[in-house]
Amino acid sequence: MKTNIFLVLIVAVSLLIFNNTSCTKDNFTHDGYYSGSFSYQGLTKFDALIINGNNYEEVPSGGALDQKFPCLTKGTYKIKGNTINFTTSVEPDCLCYDCLLKGEYKLIQSGRTIEFQKEAKDGLQIYKMTLTESGR
């Protein structure tokens, strides 16, 4: 009986150790269409991403007033621990160069919601996105 309890405790502790909350590609939310907001310099704008494999693409909102400046990017990303690093393959003409989705961000994930943020030249950039259409 004591052996069984000991084995159960070992299994439970092992699961806790190996099931950490760090976001890796293996436990990252599904590919698909994410919509939400981009906040920077006191402004909050609509933003949306399509994630497919290790590729991402920001998509326009369809309305110039609600769109995230003229700074929509696409490229690849890599996740390591609780950070996500975006590499932009195309940098469009942009009035707000600091607003491009590129570089390393702190990553927070909860269910179908992802948030990433970083300190930029003029304040904190915050992206809050929710998976609205799964790619799988």
- Angle 119-125-129 from CA coordinates, rounded to 5°: 135
pLDDT of residue 133: 82
Q: Would you call 66 helix, strand, or coil by DSSP?
A: coil
Where is average pLDDT lowest: 18-22, 52-56, 85-89, 107-111?
A: 18-22
Average pLDDT over every residue of 104-120 = 93
Task: Identify whether the C-beta of residue 76 lies closer than 8 Å to the C-beta of residue 83.
Answer: no
Query: Is the pLDDT assigned to residue 19 strictly greater than 70?
Result: no
* Share of residues in the chain with pLDDT > 70 (%): 62
Average pLDDT over every residue of 30-42 = 88
The class that CATH gives domain 22-134 is mainly beta
Pairing verdict, β 123-134 and 83-90: unpaired
Q: For the chain, what are the domain ranges?
A: 22-134
Query: Is the pLDDT assigned to residue 25 strictly greater than 50?
Result: no
Q: Which residues make Cβ contacts (< 8 Å) with residue 136, sequence separation at least 6?
A: 30, 31, 32
Q: Which band of pLDDT confidence, cut at 50, 70 and 90, is reported for residue 40?
A: confident
